[in-house]
Amino acid sequence: MSIEQQLRQWQDKAGELVQRGLDRHVRLAVTGLSRAGKTAFITSLVNQLEHAASDARLPQWDVVRQGRLLGARRVAQINHHIPTFAYEPALAALHGPAPRWPAATRGVAEIRLELRYRSRHLLRRQLGDHQTLFLDIVDYPGEWLLDLPLLSQSFEAWSEQVRRQLERPALRELAEPWLSQRWQASDPLDESRVVAVAAAYTEWLHQCKARLGLHLVQPGRFVLPGEYAGAPMLQFVPWVWAAPAGECAAGSLYSALRERFEHYKQHLVRGFYQQHFAGFDRQIVLVDCLQPLNEGPESFSDMQLALARIMESFRYGKSGWWQRLFAPRIDKLLLVASKADHVTPEQHPAMVSLLQSLVGQGRGQARFAGIETECMALASVRATEVGQGRHDGQTFPALRGTTLDGQPQLLFPGEVPSSPPSERWWQQGSFDFQAFRPLVMPAHEALPHIRLDAALQYLLGDKLE
């Protein structure tokens, strides 16, 4: 090999090392209560990124507007123990001849993208013709964050909390199948009976969600068990019957339930924060504010409580037990009112303002802990078009779309309240939005969206400078 060739090889090697040193990596976590729109969001995000260099619909994202994004592609994820986010099936559902929304998901999933871009900084540009950012997007259920307070709760305190919840007649009525147990705290553990009662308790949680529109059901993993379905640490119930007289012996029903509760806390709650949460760099929380407005005041106030509980996970400071336990490092949190295409565009500021008031206190605490936060309204996959309706000779903004059962519709869904609604608002019952089926969309084009580019700018803008 000539000296010249040798030199060139060294240069290449040095360039590669510099490039590797410059390659960076961001772990972006996407969460929200079930049906908040996580799968649609991630599918659209990946789709926009894959189209970003050729057919960009992302004018609010600097790196695209400035023509610096060279492309993005999906690459193999590094965490082999985490299921892969099912991007292709989700996209196929949206692009099918009769477009459908992607199926509901459970548990955690991730997908990795490699983004190539040109830096704005001269020095970085001189070091290589492009830079690389690896983006891991992680989908996980917001319900898992609801369990955080359990970490500092005893079995007794948690049981007392459920007992208080059961004072609400609607909840008590649904709870009858497990509540009607006749058993004593000191009874010996009967495994098959515990399994049956835990199953009835889990069914109660599902019913609270489905029939009453409640989110704040606990333990969160009972309804979304992920890979732990059927494990004994998911088979316990709160003790809401006659309190034990004194300390229960080992092997008794009560002590077995308490032990499983402790296992749940240590392995599932703490395990999630240590294995997943602690590794997130950026977080987006999707909130469907519209569905609870449709359902009524109980569902709405439950969503508000659940959201406040979710925000507690972002209250960690730079010190304290939280920091010692998990060393979390999220530095930016984006709170999103999802499915903004369900209302006409002039309602979007009200949606944002409603979300701001729902997360107000938690947001202040996150900021105090050094996390930057922002609220916005967006639609990951826009399913409506804005048109004009006419009534009594007047025109008004309206939405045009196709309902889930295939009926074309033109409607004005009502006004979104800009703060949690008053009693009068509920009585008027003037809000009624419809779910729409996705539009027919050409597969070679990026999915239509509203403000997904603004979200990308907020979440990743600084990482692509």
Ligand X SMILES: Nc1nc2c(ncn2[C@@H]2O[C@H](COP(=O)(O)OP(=O)(O)OP(=O)(O)O)[C@@H](O)[C@H]2O)c(=O)[nH]1
Residues that bind ligand X (CB under 6 A): 32, 34-40, 101-102, 104-105, 141, 338-339, 341-342, 379-381, 383, 435-436
Q: Which is nearer to ligand X, 140 or 201 (CB)?
A: 140
# residues contacting Mg ion (CB under 5 A) = 3
Q: Which is nearer to ligand X, 256 or 334 (CB)?
A: 334
Minimum distance between the CB of residue 396 and ligand X, rounded to whole angstroms? 20
* SS3 of residue 115 by DSSP: strand
Residues 46 and 51: their CA atoms lie apart, in Å, by: 9
Minimum distance between the CB of residue 177 and ligand X, rounded to whole angstroms? 25
The per-residue DSSP string of 329-354 comes to: ---EEEEEE--GGGS-GGGHHHHHHH
Minimum distance between the CB of residue 19 and ligand X, rounded to whole angstroms? 36
CB 389 within 8 A of CB 410: yes
CB 337 within 8 A of CB 376: yes
341 binds, among Mg ion, ligand X, none (CB under 5 to 8 A by kind): ligand X
Torsion angle (degrees, nearest 10) of CA 140, 143, 149, 155: -120
Residues 67 and 76: their CA atoms lie apart, in Å, by: 26
* SS3 of residue 102 by DSSP: coil
Cα distances (angstroms) measured from residue 86 to each of 13, 30, 118, 257: 36, 15, 30, 36
Residue nearest to ligand X (CB): 101
Q: Which is nearer to Mg ion, 90 or 171 (CB)?
A: 90
Task: Say what angle helices 297-311 and 191-212 make with each other, to 10 degrees.
Answer: 120
56 binds, among ligand X, Mg ion, none (CB under 5 to 8 A by kind): none
Minimum distance between the CB of residue 220 and Mg ion, rounded to whole angstroms? 15
Minimum distance between the CB of residue 215 and Mg ion, rounded to whole angstroms? 15
CA terminus-to-terminus distance, the chain: 39
146 binds, among Mg ion, ligand X, none (CB under 5 to 8 A by kind): none
Q: Which is nearer to ligand X, 144 or 158 (CB)?
A: 144
91 binds, among ligand X, Mg ion, none (CB under 5 to 8 A by kind): none
Residue 299 interacts with Mg ion (CB under 5 A)?
Answer: no
Residues 399 and 343: their CA atoms lie apart, in Å, by: 7
Q: Which is nearer to ligand X, 104 or 250 (CB)?
A: 104
Q: Which is nearer to ligand X, 255 or 380 (CB)?
A: 380
Residues 159-198 close enough to bind Mg ion by CB under 5 A: none
Q: Which is nearer to ligand X, 299 or 380 (CB)?
A: 380
* SS3 of residue 149 by DSSP: helix
Phi, psi at residue 429, to the nearest 5°? Answer: 50, 40
Minimum distance between the CB of residue 185 and ligand X, rounded to whole angstroms? 36
Residues 10-39 close enough to bind Mg ion by CB under 5 A: 38-39
Residues that bind Mg ion (CB under 5 A): 38-39, 105
